[in-house]
Amino acid sequence: MTTIIDGKVFAARVRGQVQAHVARLREEHAITPGLAVVLVGEDPASQVYVRNKHASTVEVGMASFEHRLAADTGEADLLALVRRLNADPAVHGILVQLPLPGHLNAELIINTIDPAKDVDGFHISNVGLLGTGQKSMVPCTPLGCLMMLRDHHGSLSGMNAVVVGRSNIVGKPMAQLLLGDSCTVTIAHSRTKDLAAVCRAADILVAAVGRAEMITGDFVKPGATVIDVGINRVERDGKTRLVGDVEFASAAAVAGAITPVPGGVGPMTIACLLANTLTACCRANGLAEPEGLTA
């Protein structure tokens, strides 16, 4: 029997843990964790994400600070806002929604965020800390994948993990996290020779390539755990559907466990953003970090 790893249930559990910890912080220390989200421009998908982040933040009892700026906002003004948020003691987490309009230097802006408040884990200091196995802020999507893998397997030590995709947001940090949990890690990508054979060696297969249903059942070792990070919109039978990077039916027939799309990794990303904000708040106040919600 293949286990379908239910990201909606898991994310609800994580949000519940965050909510309980936030309530304790308020009662015992009179502290409310705060998350600031900055959106520049009117990209429709980004507007939906930002709305969902705001609703989830408020739902777990945190303070949400939304900053919506015009698409033609200058770099100096955006940097000034980031510096103001860095200095604001009520703000424990800062997220600048990507993509930014083309005239803004995303790297410069991300690297201006105080690394301790960088709840996306994109700041170059956090990337370096993660790469050297030190305490850091960890990107939300890979953190969510790690939590699901640990929950399913307990220890990941000694397992063969293959990550397909080498992005800074998912592939590379995912590989670092799996290495941190003592997996033997391979990073594969679009130029990898005989990708199917490389993937078939994996006990843990993480698909983060951004190509609809590219990973089929013949890429999967019998009994392997398959984590599908992809969210791709495809037209099928005259309707728009969401599919992952994994062809679910053929992969599920071979896998031991698999995350569906939608309802797998996706819901974990915002839950981990809340977890990271809580972690940042605890660290800023010299308090114990929430258990099970960090790498």
Report the residue number whose CB is nearest to ligand GUN. 98
Instruction: Determine the straight-line distance between the first and last CA of the chain, rounded to whole angstroms.
Output: 29
Question: Does 97 qualify as catalytic in the annotation?
Answer: yes
Question: Does 53 qualify as catalytic in the annotation?
Answer: yes
Q: Which of 95, 109, 7, 92 is nearest to 53 (CA)?
A: 95
Q: From 5-13, 91-99, 155-163, 206-214, give the range in contact with ligand GUN by CB under 6 A.
A: 91-99
Helices (H), the chain: 7-29, 44-59, 75-87, 106-110, 124-131, 140-153, 171-180, 195-200, 248-252, 266-284
Q: Under rule CB under 6 A, which residues in 118-137 are in contact with ligand GUN?
A: 120
Bond into 115 cis (ω within 30) = no
Which of 96, 104, 159, 261: binder of ligand GUN (CB under 6 A)? 96
38 binds ligand GUN (CB under 6 A): no
Give the residue carrying structure tokens 């936030």.
Answer: 22
Query: Side chain identity at 112, as an amino acid letter?
Result: T
114 binds ligand GUN (CB under 6 A): no
Question: Does 151 qualify as catalytic in the annotation?
Answer: no
- Least distance to ligand GUN from the beta carbon of 172, Å? 14
242 binds ligand GUN (CB under 6 A): no
145 binds ligand GUN (CB under 6 A): no
Which of 4, 63, 98, 179: binder of ligand GUN (CB under 6 A)? 98
100 vs 188, beta carbon nearer ligand GUN: 100
Q: From 20-28, 60-68, 90-98, 205-213, give the range in contact with ligand GUN by CB under 6 A.
A: 90-98
Q: Classify residue 247 by its DSSP letter.
A: -
Q: Which of 201, 131, 161, 170 is nearest to 265 (CA)?
A: 170
Q: How far apart are CA 200 and CA 196, in angstroms?
A: 6
Q: Which of 17, 53, 176, 245 is catalytic?
A: 53
Please give the residue ranges that form the binding site for ligand GUN (CB under 6 A): 49, 95-98, 120, 140
Write out the catalytic residue numbers.
53, 97, 120
